[in-house]
A and B are shown apart, each in its own frame.
Chain A
């Protein structure tokens, strides 16, 4: 049985408690709605994350295959030299958006694909296989950034779901049952007091009748 609250067994307290139970039940319902919405949002993003992860893995395999081909073509040390000459790609700006009170990152990155001239290495002294590898890795970068945003959102949503679940459970299994048990206790106590009072009146009546007889 649930514990009871430390309150005086009076009618006033009973009324107050009934009001509190009403409020707690409403709060519980609302939090449960929030929890459902969060779970729905989580699974919507989860599907996206799953397909992005699959796509990224495939692109990585392709990118490393093309890199291997480029290494065969121009040699490992030459590839390293070329990589040193590559100019940095665009910077990523991370903004914020809010999902039901959960701040999550918003990365709106434009395409990372560049032309051969923009990459910064000399295309005269390299081979087309190097360009293909660079292009494939730019595609990987684009997907990786998109996936980073989605996975971070998932993590934060999962944390919020856990928190909300804890609150919902606290209301459902501790706070509301405790209040209900207290109401029951006060009602029983008040009934008991009424019975005592009734018995006392009966006794007084009997005594008065005996005296008058």
Chain B
């Protein structure tokens, strides 16, 4: 039976962010786990690569591992076409270190970057970053 268009749209919109984590975990906690993973909103498990977590740990100070929550969310909003956003001081630090733009004197809470930089980040952090689609 054909469904109402509104029903289809609402279902699509509610489905679009089901891959986001139910609860994030700190890097320090994930490094201690035998099988580092988190539960997603749709109930499934998302596993992290240990090598990737170790790489992230190498980018941060010892005490910062407790404060970086994984996965890092790359926000894509409809209002900023061609850009994406990263929020959180430590998440920004990690992203900037990967892109080679980190400046120790600047402490940014959020960062807006052009979308063509996404592959570089995703290539380095395929399991510890995730996308979030936000309706503007």
B46 at the interface (CB under 8 A from A): yes
Per-residue A-contact encoding for B112-131, CB less than 8 Å = 1, 0 else = 00010011001100110011
Known: A23-B6, A30-B13, A30-B16. A44 touches B47 (CB 8 A): no
Known: A30-B135, A175-B8. A106 touches B18 (CB 8 A): no
B97 at the interface (CB under 8 A from A): no
B127 touches A33 (CB 8 A): no
B5 touches A24 (CB 8 A): yes
Query: In the complex, which residues 7-64 of chain A have their Cβ closer than 8 Å to any Cβ of chain B?
Result: 20, 23-24, 26-27, 29-31, 33-34, 36-37, 40-41, 43-44, 48
Known: A29-B78, A33-B78, A106-B49. A100 touches B6 (CB 8 A): no
Interfacial chain B residues near A152, Cβ < 8 Å? none
Interfacial chain A residues near B133, Cβ < 8 Å? 30, 33-34, 37
B106 at the interface (CB under 8 A from A): no
| Total A-B contacts with CB atoms under 8 angstroms apart | 87
A44 touches B12 (CB 8 A): no
Show the binding face of B for A, using Cβ within 8 Å.
5-6, 8-10, 12-13, 15-16, 18-19, 35, 37, 40, 42, 44-51, 76, 78, 81, 115, 118-119, 122-123, 126-127, 130-131, 133, 135
